[in-house]
Structure 1
Amino acid sequence: MFSKKVKVADKAQESSYLVAEFVVKSMKPHTIAETLILPACSAIVKTMFGSEAEKKVRKIPVSDNTISRRIHDMSADIEETVCTSVKEGEMFALQVDESTDIGGMAQLLVFVRYIPDVKKVNQFFCCKELKETTTGNDIFSTLNEYLKSVGVTWQSCVGICTDGVLAMIGSIKGFVSLVKRENSSVITTHCFLHREALVAKTISNDLKSVLEKVVKMVNFIKKSIAEVSSVD
């Protein structure tokens, strides 16, 4: 009897993490697990398998705070896995961008590319708040502190991709210049999306018309694919 109850508890914990994963992927409020998902699952299970099965489903912890903790646990696990893979690899490259969230706070977004085996992996690395200013020194200090905390060194970094703002590519106090003081062999590139945006602002009217038509066609194809996938 004791063993049986332990197994039920373990399955309830596992189910709780699965529910949290669905919540975070759908970008819904955490309360949806307790107000919608659990009642819906309970009703389905009771109808299909009876009251005893429903009682087991009701034991799944899905409160607001529980879902929040589950998401935090999964995020920490993913972070640890990525950092371990980056440290075990010989080289990695970073894509760095500073943006502003809906609250008006500056956020530093960093993506990493590394080769754990043979296949290249692109993964989200970290998001750090820039609390005061957004100078090149602030960006470098924030990212440098994070790399130290996870045990990653600049010596293994082979490339950095940024946009063309002064804080990133300034020759003296820019983020890239500060990184090259740590590792002079780092290769820097300008993000192609930013380059395309800059070109789109200066092209002639004829080319702009062609570009707009191409964008409309691509969006139409993407929309059609999404509609077909939803029907399937």
Structure 2
Amino acid sequence: MSLSKPSGSNKRKITDEHRQFKENRELQYFCSEINNKILCLICKSVISVPKLYNIKRHYEQHKSKYDQYEGLLRQEKLKEFLSGYKKQQIMFTKIPQENEAAVKVSYVLSELIAKHSKPFTEGDFIKTCLIKTAEIICPGNLKAFQNISLLRNTVAERITELACNLSNQIKIKIPTFEYFSIACDESTDIGGTAQLAVFFRACDMEFNIFEELLEIIPMLDTTTEEDVFVSVFKLLKKYDLHLEKLSSVALDGASMTGKIKDSLKEKKRMKMLNINFIGHISQEQDVSVLSDPMWLQDLHGRYNEALIEFKFKIAREKSNYNSH
């Protein structure tokens, strides 16, 4: 008659024994229980099996050197080991915090470089200034300033990430906008490529004004009326900006005005572009095409006048209602 072998699931595991670490072993074998693991305070290695035999066998490696400590000397040595371990853990915690601060400073300074239209290489000069300042004012924190990365490629990456984040924020806010206007400016860069800058201004139900540069579109081939038209309306589709909410288009000059006007007249061609939200414009007059560069200020002035009149009307109607 053959005996069946016990299944693997019935084997006893060390974790199932729920062994308790005795405090007197700290002083006796210079080990301590940290995060449910037995750690040798001498060599900082983990004793995998928390049994007395394994702890004692591990201590045998250091016995000849540390058995000489007895009584108060041994207690002081244990305190020294525990204090050293805690300092080591604090150091490892402090390093990530310093690195996080250095990365944050790198983003902030990269944003300032972009806002002031400075070349990316300015980052190296700024870092040199920071280090020289730290050497005089706070030499103890010099290493933290040295950890700030402001290399040309790093600054370029930081600015790209910030731009992507801004684009995502715009997409989140767009559904709350009631009306919007765009301003287009065509210019040529140092390489001879035409660049079409599209600015965006909108307001929500609470009359909060939001404006931002949507995108700079490189016109790689030609800048005909069709090229400008397709580029602008593809950009509006990208950001899910519906034409029924478009109140005005501001342009930089007569040539651009003609391009947009001619495109708006050709409603049939707009349908051929397969842009879902195109088709709301029945006449050219439905969208105001302006060439005045001060359109934003004019719009803001009209908004303030309308807001005052609107508040006055509400107050008057409220007063009439209370009188009844």
Worse-matched range after superposition: 12-21 or 100-109 = 100-109
What residue is the counterpart of 2:243 in the other structure?
Answer: 154
Please state if 1:130 is matched with 2:227.
no
Task: Say if 2:254 and 2:291, in contact at 8 Å, map to a contact too.
Answer: no
What residue is the counterpart of 1:92 in the other structure?
Answer: 180
Greater RCO, CA 8 A, separation 6+ = 1
What residue is the counterpart of 1:7 in the other structure?
Answer: 97
**Aligned equivalent of 1:142, options 217, 231, 251:** 231
| CA shift for structure 1 position 128 | 0.2
Task: Say if 1:140 and 1:178, in contact at 8 Å, map to a contact too.
Answer: no
Q: Secondary structure at the match of 1:90?
A: strand
What residue is the counterpart of 1:78 in the other structure?
Answer: 166
| CA shift for structure 1 position 41 | 0.6
**Aligned equivalent of 1:188, options 285, 288, 298:** 288
Q: Which amino acid aligns with 2:111?
A: E
Please state if 1:43 is matched with 2:132.
yes
Task: Say if 1:140 and 1:179, in contact at 8 Å, map to a contact too.
Answer: no
Which protein has the larger Cα radius of gyration, Structure 1 or Structure 2? Answer: 2
| CA shift for structure 1 position 10 | 1.0
Name the TM-score, length of structure 1 as normaliser: 0.72
What residue is the counterpart of 1:17 in the other structure?
Answer: 107
Q: Secondary structure at the match of 2:97?
A: helix
Task: Say if 1:13 and 1:60, in contact at 8 Å, map to a contact too.
Answer: yes
| CA shift for structure 1 position 18 | 1.3
Identify, as 1 or 2, the structure richer in helix: 1
RMSD of Structure 2 on Structure 1 (CA):
2.7
| CA shift for structure 1 position 167 | 5.5
Name the TM-score, length of structure 2 as normaliser: 0.53
Aligned length: 192
**Aligned equivalent of 1:28, options 91, 94, 118:** 118
Distance, in Å, in 2 between the alignment partners of 1:164 and 1:32 is: 34
Distance, in Å, in 2 between the alignment partners of 1:190 and 1:152 is: 19
What residue is the counterpart of 1:206 in the other structure?
Answer: none
Worse-matched range after superposition: 101-110 or 115-124 = 115-124
Distance, in Å, in 1 between the alignment partners of 2:267 and 2:159 is: 33
Q: Which amino acid aligns with 1:32?
A: E
Distance, in Å, in 2 between the alignment partners of 1:73 and 1:160 is: 29
Distance, in Å, in 1 between the alignment partners of 2:106 and 2:207 is: 35
